[in-house]
Amino acid sequence: MNLFQAINNSLDIALTQDPTAVIFGEDVAFGGVFRCTVGLQEKHGKSRVFNTPLCEQGIAGFGIGAATAGATAIAEIQFADYILPAFDQICNEAAKYRYRSGGIYDCGSLTIRAPCSAVGHGAVYHSQSPEAFFAHCPGLKVVVPRGPIKAKGLLLSCIRDKNPCLFFEPKILYRSAVEQVPVKEYTMPLSKADILVEGDDITLVGWGTQVHVLREVCQLAKDQLNVSCELIDLVTILPWDKETIAQSVKKTGRLLIAHEAPLTSGFGAEIAASIQHECFLNLEAPIERVTGFDTPFPHMFEPFYMPDKWRCFEAVKKLVNY
């Protein structure tokens, strides 16, 4: 399966096993712009898979109400760039609902899916990575899969988790990431990072599409510098797995964090601050961040904006030569 087929399979399982589950959003009835919900309305009916008005605040608000009333609400925001009209509903309502009611009510069975990150031609409104905005909001879980196997298991975990979850899907991977995905039901743990490549000299941390970039950097470092890189997929942005990264950095003494979102207040800043506090005496060099720039996401200049393997490789050289 590719990524969108794995997500479709996960949603199909959720609808089949949970009679209260509903899927809603812009254009989901015919399958969505990325085909993630294709065939689900035909199989499960118009009362369980249905379109909404073009109103992200309304989609989130409806999801909160449906989840509070006992449904398993699975909302789709057509592009993560357009999740910001729903920011108030997500951060001031969904994230705080259990807390402000003293545990009497909650909307923990709400999951919001959204395609995110660069796609090669998306320009300013179809390329952004907004995960750091929501990482500042206690009460949410924020997840970014790197491929089809992880996407299916993590999405089912989010749907079943008793906290509101944001599930950001790197859209460039919808068709380009293909794996042998188990067809049966399975879940994967949230808030647990994956060590994909073990190494001794430097720790590389990314999520989503950037994991694949960093995998190439690991090979470049090995071939050209004889440097052994440890590659970690963070998987969950909130709550994140500090322990796995800290243990790795205590071993390697060096850390590079890469993400597509802009540098200032990107989630790499939180990781860097936490790890220097935890691993200060183990660090052999200052922590490096390779990210998008502090500009709106460009169209023509996208290749220069992206934290590609060459920018990351230069940061590796800087770290090992410090």
- The verdict on whether 277 is a catalytic residue reads no
Q: How far apart are CA 263 and CA 179, in angstroms?
A: 31
Q: Which residues lie closer than 8 Å to 218 by C-beta, 6 or more apart?
A: 197, 199, 204, 229, 231
Query: Helix, strand, or coil here: 289?
Result: strand
Q: Is 56 one of the annotated active-site residues of the chain?
A: yes
Choose, from 56, 76, 131, 270, the residue flagged as catalytic.
56
Distance, in Å, from the CA atom of 113 to the CA atom of 264, rounded to the nearest integer, reads 25
DSSP structural state of residue 115:
E
Tokens of 203: 């720790």
Structure tokens, 185: 């039901």
- Whose tokens are 């108030």? That residue is 88
CB 112 within 8 A of CB 60: yes
Alpha carbon distance 80, 125 (integer Å): 9
Token output for 66: 């449906």
Question: What residues does 290 pair with on adjacent strands?
Answer: 258
**For residue 136, what are the CA distances in angstroms to 109, 133, 266?**
21, 6, 11
The answer for residues whose C-beta is within 8 angstroms of residue 267's C-beta and 6 or more apart is 131, 132, 135, 237, 240, 259, 261
Residue 23 region by backbone torsions, left for phi larger than 0, else alpha for psi between -120 and 50, else beta = beta
Q: Which of 76, 93, 126, 212 is catalytic?
A: 126
- Tell the residue number behind the tokens 């073009």, with chain if given: 54
CA distance 301 to 285: 31
- To which residue do tokens 């990264």 refer? 245
Q: Which residues are catalytic?
A: 56, 126
